[in-house]
């Protein structure tokens, strides 16, 4: 058990890290947290301290993603997962970075892990859908998305997207890899449904 004296010694570091977070210096806040782990390896973080650490990682990773710093992003998100191995958001972020590196199979693994923890995570579902489309698993990608949306919504006659929903279903049913016309029809249906990225993936395959 950590002594009261050691606990008193740790707190100034957390105040410093909190100040760095306040001013948006997330990398610096993470560096201070690393220093705490190094100097006080047996110090048990309390809930607020873990939340601060999680926030620092999350914001730094988001910054790295926005600035397309993929290699550094992978390194930081792996570090974050050492602290938070069951954090669906960090697992999804790692899958995103892996996709950026064109490591599709590894990306799928992490996206699946994220969904196992949070089955209705929109971000994870959208990412896994795109991963499956990259693998040519169009029906699986569509079915992953269906878990989030009750089908009654699209079959309701008052829904203005009803015709686009049926068009997409028909295009999926008629898709045949050997027929370019079916790929074009699927891409058109996907774009009309609002899945422009998935439409581009289909077109890039043929």
Q: What is the 3-state secondary structure (H, E, C) of the chain?
A: CCCHHHHHHHHHHHHHHHHHHHCCCHHHHHHHHHHHHHHCCCCCCCHHHHHHHHHHHHHHHHHHHHCCCHHHHHHHHHHHHHHCCCCHHHHHHHHHHHHHCCCHHHHHHHHHHHHHHCCCCHHHHHHHHHHHHHCCCHHHHHHHHHCCCCHHHHHCCCCCCHHHHHHHHHHHHHCCCCCHHHHHHHHHHHHHHCCHHHHHHHHHHC
Average pLDDT taken over every residue of the chain: 89
Residues 53 and 82: their CA atoms lie apart, in Å, by: 12
**Whole-structure pTM value:** 0.84
List pLDDT tens digits, range 5-21: 467 888 888 889 889 98
Check residue 182 and give left, alpha or beta (phi > 0: left; psi -120 to 50: alpha).
alpha
pLDDT recorded at residue 82: 92
What was the pLDDT predicted at 6? 64
| Euclidean distance between CA atoms 93 and 91, whole angstroms | 5
- Tens digits of residue pLDDT in 55-90: 999 999 999 999 999 999 999 999 999 999 999 999
Is the pLDDT at 94 greater than 90, yes or no? yes
How far is residue 119's CA from residue 142's CA, in Å, rounded to a whole number? 15
**Rounded Cα distance, 54 and 63, in Å:** 14
pLDDT digits (tens, 9 = 90+) for 108-149: 999 999 999 999 899 999 999 999 999 999 999 999 988 887
């Amino acid at each position: 058990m950590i002594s009261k004296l050691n606990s008193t010694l740790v707190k100034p570091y957390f105040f410093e890290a909190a100040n760095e977070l306040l001013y948006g210096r997330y990398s610096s806040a993470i560096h201070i947290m690393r220093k705490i782990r190094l100097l006080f390896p047996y110090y048990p973080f309390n809930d607020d301290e873990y939340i601060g650490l999680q926030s620092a990682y999350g914001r730094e990773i988001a910054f790295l993603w926005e600035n397309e710093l993929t290699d550094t992003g992978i390194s930081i998100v792996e570090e974050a997962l050492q602290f938070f191995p069951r954090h669906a958001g960090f697992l999804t972020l790692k899958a995103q970075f892996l996709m950026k590196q064109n490591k599709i199979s590894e990306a799928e693994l992490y996206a699946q892990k994220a969904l196992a923890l949070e089955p209705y995570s929109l971000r994870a579902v959208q990412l896994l859908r795109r991963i499956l489309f990259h693998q040519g698993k169009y029906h699986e990608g569509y079915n992953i998305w269906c878990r989030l949306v009750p089908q009654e919504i699209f079959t309701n006659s008052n829904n203005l997207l009803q015709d686009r929903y049926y068009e997409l279903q028909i295009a999926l049913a008629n898709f045949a890899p050997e027929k370019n016309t079916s790929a074009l029809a699927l891409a058109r249906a996907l774009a009309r449904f609002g899945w422009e990225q998935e439409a581009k993936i289909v077109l890039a395959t043929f």
